[in-house]
Chain A
Amino acid sequence: MKVHRSKLKAQSFGMILLLLTAFCLLAPSTTAGQKWPGVDESVIEKVAKEHGKEARQPFINTDQGDLLLFVFLLAGAVGGFIGGYYWRALTGKRGKEETQKKNG
């Protein structure tokens, strides 16, 4: 039973990973030639440009080649670690007990 559940978990995890990859990588190719602009580009900056306002470069411009990929990777890893750590602190058995003890 335990083995079956862990197998199911692994399969679900694999499926999520596969779907995420497929959605993000294959979806743009189905609309060949189109990119996926953010609404900042397709709405905010477009309308602002029509009214004579253009976006400036950010003060620290990380939008340079693969530097942005690295920064997003770092942000995702650090954010994910912090989220996971606190989730565990809140929902883990020891976390619950420690919180109860600290609060008396």
Chain B
Amino acid sequence: MKKSGMFRTQTLRVAVVLPLLTAYGLLLTVSDADAMHISEGILPFHWAAFWSILSVPFVAYGLYRLGRLSAVDLSFKPLVGLMAAVVFIISCMPIPVPTAGSCSHPCGTAISGILVGPAISIVVAAVALLIQALFLAHGGLSTWGANLISMGVMGSFAGFLTFKALRSMKINMAVSGFMAGLLADWATYFTTSIELASGIKGDSPFMPLLWKILIAFIPTQLPLGILEGAMTAGMIVLLYKKRPDLLVKMKVLKAEEAG
């Protein structure tokens, strides 16, 4: 009875404090529609259509994986729900970078790619980007496919593959998580640069324009990538302490590593 009361108090604390703190953080940082995704109307129709069509098989496979895994393992649904909230909040939270005098946001797809796999992480990103494009003046419906390829596909796969590669080399979990977050963030903005350069180049040569965009991103994305790395490492270590069994189940850890 006492334990149940304590549980209820703690749940209430989490249910009240976390939304308030998140809303407070978002409110403090929002001044204008400081979106970091490619805005509505920037890409020509054929490029917007190309990126959207390219993203369809990834989303379809992600939905198929989600259905299969949820049917087998019931603890999978809360994890996907948590990741959806994390990716949504992180990817619409503009963070001021004093060294650059501008704002940008981490993506959150590294952590979701590692924990629920890149295919499901793409679905999570697709939903987050759709809500942001519809209601938060953040990104755009016509550029949804392009933003999904950069943040969802590239971010998730870069994070997942980096983490797996480093772990297979027996690198520490926190360091692997950090590098996964860092490279996922940079891969996202590298892909955004390619999408933007190919979409707007017209008669200009592609490579100089790509370099120009990449260099312009560096002052903001360099520190933000480091922040994303730290966040990813922090979340993995926290989950390792709280639910090592879950990490084993999601094949993030081997059973013997969980102790």
Contacts and interface: CB of A to CB of B under 8 A. Distances in A.
Interface residues of B, number: 79
B85 A75 contact: no
Interface in B207-259: 209, 212-213, 216-217, 220-221, 242-243, 246
B246 to A, nearest CB: 7
A38 B104 CA distance: 6
A51 interface: yes
Interface stretch (B60-68, B74-82, B158-166): B74-82
Interface in A57-82: 57-63, 68-69, 71-82
Contact of A48 (B28, B42, B81, B85): B42
A78 to B, nearest CB: 7
Contacts of B136: 62, 68, 71-72, 75
- Residue in A20, A34, A40 whose Cβ sees the most chain B Cβ within 10 Å: A40
A48 B216 CA distance: 13
A28 B26 contact: no
Interface in A15-43: 17, 20-21, 23-25, 27-28, 31, 34-43
Contacts of A8: none
Interface string A74-93: 11111111111111111111
A73 B11 contact: no
Given A36-B31, A38-B103, A53 B42 contact: yes
Interface stretch (B16-24, B51-59, B174-182): B16-24
A96 interface: yes
Nearest to A89: B78
Given A34-B101, A79-B85, A83-B89, A24 B34 contact: no
B31 A92 contact: no
B36 A38 contact: yes
Contacts of B133: 58
B25 A36 contact: no
Given A76-B19, A83-B89, A92-B10, 14 more contacts: A24-B29, A36-B103, A38-B34, A39-B220, A43-B220, A47-B213, A52-B200, A58-B40, A69-B30, A75-B88, A75-B89, A80-B20, A90-B79, A90-B82
24 contacts: A31-B101, A36-B102, A39-B221, A40-B35, A40-B37, A42-B102, A42-B216, A48-B196, A53-B41, A53-B42, A53-B44, A68-B32, A68-B137, A73-B27, A75-B89, A75-B135, A76-B23, A82-B84, A82-B85, A83-B22, A84-B19, A88-B15, A91-B242, A102-B75
